[in-house]
Amino acid sequence: MEKGSFIPEHERYAQRLTTLEHRREASNNSTKSTERIGHKVRGIKVYRYFTNGERVLKLILLFGSVLLLMLYVISPLSKVREVTVTGNSELSPAQVEDATQVHLGRYIWGVMATRQAISRTAHQRNPQVKQIHLRLTGAQSLQMTVTENPIVGTVEIGQRDYNILANGQLQRAKGSQSRIEYQGFNKDGAQLKKTAVQVGQLKAVVRNGISTISYRPTKTAPNRLVIFMRDGNTVYANLNTVGKKLAYYPSIAATMKKPGVVDLQVGAYSYSYDSHDK
């Protein structure tokens, strides 16, 4: 009996040990699981901390940049302190600045924002200004590149002298002019404009050699021009083609031994005054 009763007691003791071990393992697993969850929670908190910090930094940089830009716009640092004029031949830098109204002290951002309007206004104020190109050369410096409508001569209309620009536009002449004189166009404004545009296509070296352009139409040649050169030669030309054909005048004149006539109306040939008289 004692031996038989001992075996069940032993089994009960073994069962208790097994139960305790299972409880211990379950407790350990629960602790490990809690530790893993804690690590995950701490990782999420760290991630959120860095991402929130990055967002705050971006906002600070954005608003800081806007603030600096606003301060620059209203500060003296954004005013023009230097203006350089290039491309001008007949116009002085002062005339270009007066036409554009771009003076020292203007806000540079305002000038660059309205540069197309400035170019249009400059042409209206001074027709010799064909176009203005503005560009920044520094934080407070500008360069204005001018494309001119050169003066190709003068004409007297209604007892007043006018400069004729390369685009055919007239401009009141100021002072004495030593340029091309246009004659015979008093009642023919359209022909005067066509002639001026043609002459404006010539190189300055050829254009400067012209003394007078006279419009002398005939029944057979309604567009005839008689051009008196400063070297003593006379040129017959057509007002529709004079810009193209007169470009060859220097090479033709170089072959002439004596002063004479260069006929460019149809083809191109020359002869001296003496031979024509004969």
pLDDT tens sequence across 88-139: 988 888 889 999 988 888 888 888 889 899 999 999 999 999 999 999 898 8
Residue 216 has pLDDT above 90, yes or no: yes
pLDDT tens sequence across 9-38: 656 666 666 666 666 665 555 555 555 555
Q: Is the distance from CB of 95 to CB of 126 less than 8 angstroms?
A: yes
**Dist. CA 264–CA 278, nearest whole Å:** 21
User: What pLDDT shows up at residue 23?
Assistant: 66
Q: Structure pTM?
A: 0.61
pLDDT tens sequence across 136-183: 898 888 999 999 998 888 888 877 888 889 888 888 877 655 678 899
Burial of 194 (0-12, 13-18, 19+ CB in 10 A): middle
DSSP annotation string for 256-269: -SS-EEEE-SSS-E
**Dist. CA 126–CA 100, nearest whole Å:** 9
DSSP annotation string for 88-157: -SSS-HHHHHHHHT--TTSBHHHHHHTHHHHHHHHHHH-TTEEEEEEEESSSSEEEEEEEE--EEEEEEE
- Looking only at the bridges linking them, the beta strands covering 181-183 and 210-215 are parallel
Please state the length of the chain: 278
**Dist. CA 208–CA 230, nearest whole Å:** 9
Lowest mean pLDDT among 9-13, 187-191, 242-246: 9-13
